[in-house]
Each structure stands twice: as structure tokens, then as C-alpha cells.
């Protein structure tokens, strides 16, 4: 089947290495024949809301067609991080908490937040909120602890009233399981953790996605990277969720100047192999536009 949407794209306004212009995002999507697409730059906490503001200004100045949508990608944060930033409790220490306070190894107390509120949604005309887990909360020291930690974060996003799409489910758990966040080298990535995610957790997550009216993302790089068994495990999870009634989105998660057309083709092949059709995909906004 042909992929007709890309609802997860980063522009050069994103706080990380993303470098595409909005004009190129649009021209490239038109060349790929996509019907609906959205820019979704990162918002980790209110500290970097200025990135969304500049992305929005650029977007409004571009006179874009109604099928080009404006969105954000939020991160599951620990509540104390949002509270510290709201209180301005970082200035004196000279911290630049773009990613929150990742060096603070305090234990996870279970309270979570995103850096976005309803006022931001209105102010910036946000049509789609993609929510992703990007790192462990605290530093769980067992594999079971890492899996449980990610599960709680995924469930938080799947039930958050402002999130529309659960982005790249379980992605980055290979880094948490390998203790990459402390070492930051290739020796500390453990892909095998994906084999240990209990089916019951995926069933619970699928139920939460359905009950809360969310969509699950098929994130192209996350499905297609890693060892050979990773696309299989991802597609089996999606097939399980499809059988439960979950609807999906597609996201290229592009950070480069232009999209990778081969990834779209590889994903289309997988979708055919696993029996997905256009009926399995949905949009969190009216197709007609704004």
C-alpha cells in the first residue's frame, strides 16, 4: 500500500540537529505524493517553547496548503523537571535545561508531565501533538525496571488529554537497557531488550490507546533500524494492536534536510507483508485542513 501521510517531521527550528526548511518539507512531501503531513518540532519543557514559537511564525509566513499541518512532538518528562523550570530553579546554577535535567539521577517518583498546556495549543495553533518517550526517568538498574519505566511513560502519554499520537512506541529502550545514557557509546546499546517486552504490556498499551481515542505511530526509522529482528517485532506489535482496533499514523521523524524515500518504500513493503490497508490509518484532525 502507498503511504499517504507523514505526521512526524522536524524542521530547523527543532532544538536538536534537525535542519530542513518548511519549504523543503512541503516540496518534498508533494514530490512523494503525500496527502497529509505535519511539522512536529521538539518541545521537552517550557524552557524551549521559543522553538515552537519560531516554528509557528515561519509556518504562518509560508502560505502553506491546508494539508500541511502544524504540530509539536512532546516528551514524557518527570513532573519535578517541569516544576523546576516553571519556578526558574536553574538560572543560578547556569543550567541550560533544553532536555530537562538529565544529569540529576534522583529516583523516579512516578509523577510525569509534558511541557505543553492548553493555552499553548491555542496560542500556536497546534493541530497535532505527537508524544514520545525519549529516555528513562531516573536510572532503573535492572532490565525489568527499565521495561516497567518505559511502560509507565508510554501509558502516561497514551492517556494524556493533549496527546493525539503515541510516537515510536518503546523506542530508545535499547539505550536505557544498555545504560547508554551514562556511557554514550555503541557498546552500551542492548537491542535484545525488545524481545523481553511482555505481550501483556503491549495489550495494555493498545487498550489505553483505543480507550483514550489516541493513534499509534509507525515511525519509519524506529521500525527500520537496529538488528534484523526489530522490524519483525515492531510489525507484530502493530498487527496485535490492529487486531484490537488501534488506528495508526506514519511518521518519517525526519531530522535531515530531505526525507529518505527508500525508507518509505521499505515501510510500504512491510505494510503489504503484514496485511495493512488504508483503513488502518487515521488523522487526528479533519483531512480538509485548518
Contact positions vs Zn ion (CB under 5 A): 73, 132, 253
Q: Which three cell numbers stand for residue 247?
A: 488506528
Nearer to Zn ion, 89 or 116 (CB): 116
Taking the complex as a whole, the smallest distance from the CB of residue 131 to Zn ion amounts, in Å, to 9
Residue with Cβ nearer Zn ion (171 or 211): 171
Least spacing, CB of residue 41 vs Zn ion, in Å: 8
Report in angstroms how near the CB of residue 54 gets to Zn ion at its nearest: 17
Q: How far apart are CA 270 and CA 240, in angstroms?
A: 15
**C-beta of 273: minimal distance to Zn ion in Å?**
25
Nearer to Zn ion, 6 or 280 (CB): 6
191 versus 244: smaller Cβ distance to Zn ion: 191
- Tell me the pairing of strands 112-113 and 77-78: antiparallel
Q: How far is the CB of 240 from Zn ion (least distance, A)?
A: 22
* Beta carbon nearer to Zn ion, 1 or 15: 15
CA dist 31 and 183 (Å) reads 40
The nearest distance, CB 92 to Zn ion, in angstroms, is 31
Judged by CB, which is closer to Zn ion: 73, or 202? 73
Minimum CB separation of residue 275 from Zn ion in Å reads 27
Task: Please say which residue, 253 or 286, places its beta carbon nearer to Zn ion.
Answer: 253
Amino acid at each position: 500500500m502507498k503511504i499517504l501521510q507523514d505526521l512526524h517531521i522536524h524542521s530547523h527550528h527543532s532544538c536538536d540537529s534537525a535542519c530542513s526548511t518548511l519549504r523543503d518539507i512541503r516540496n518534498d512531501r508533494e514530490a512523494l505524493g503525500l496527502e497529509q503531513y505535519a511539522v512536529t518540532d521538539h518541545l521537552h519543557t517550557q524552557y524551549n517553547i521559543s522553538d515552537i514559537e519560531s516554528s509557528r511564525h515561519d509556518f504562518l509566513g509560508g502560505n502553506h496548503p491546508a494539508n500541511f499541518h502544524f504540530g509539536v512532538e512532546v516528551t514524557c518528562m518527570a513532573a519535578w523537571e517541569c516544576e523546576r523550570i516553571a519556578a526558574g530553579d536553574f538560572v543560578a546554577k547556569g543550567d541550560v535545561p533544553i532536555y530537562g535535567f538529565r544529569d540529576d539521577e534522583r529516583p523516579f517518583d512516578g509523577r510525569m508531565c509534558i511541557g505543553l498546556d492548553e493555552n499553548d495549543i491555542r496560542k500556536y495553533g497546534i493541530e497535532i501533538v505527537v508524544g514520545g518517550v525519549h529516555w528513562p526517568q531516573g536510572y532503573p538498574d535492572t532490565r525489568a525496571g527499565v521495561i516497567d519505566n518505559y511502560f509507565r511513560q508510554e501509558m502516561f502519554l497514551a492517556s494524556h488529554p493533549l496527546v493525539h499520537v503515541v510516537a515510536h512506541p518503546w523506542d530508545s529502550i535499547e539505550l536505557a537497557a544498555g545504560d547508554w545514557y551514562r556511557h554514550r557509546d555503541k557498546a552500551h546499546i542492548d537491542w535484545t531488550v525488545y524481545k523481553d517486552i511482555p505481550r501483556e504490556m503491549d495489550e495494555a498499551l493498545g487498550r489505553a490507546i483505543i480507550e483514550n481515542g489516541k493513534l499509534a505511530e509507525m515511525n519509519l526509522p524506529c521500525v527500520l533500524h537496529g538488528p534484523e529482528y526489530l522490524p519483525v517485532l515492531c510489525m507484530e506489535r502493530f498487527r496485535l494492536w490492529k487486531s484490537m482496533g488501534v488506528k495508526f499514523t506514519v511518521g518519517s521523524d525526519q531530522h535531515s534536510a530531505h526525507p529518505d524515500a527508500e525508507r518509505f518504500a521499505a515501510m510500504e513493503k512491510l505494510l503489504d507483508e503484514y496485511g495493512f490497508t488504508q483503513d488502518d490509518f487515521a488523522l487526528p484532525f479533519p483531512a480538509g485542513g485548518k
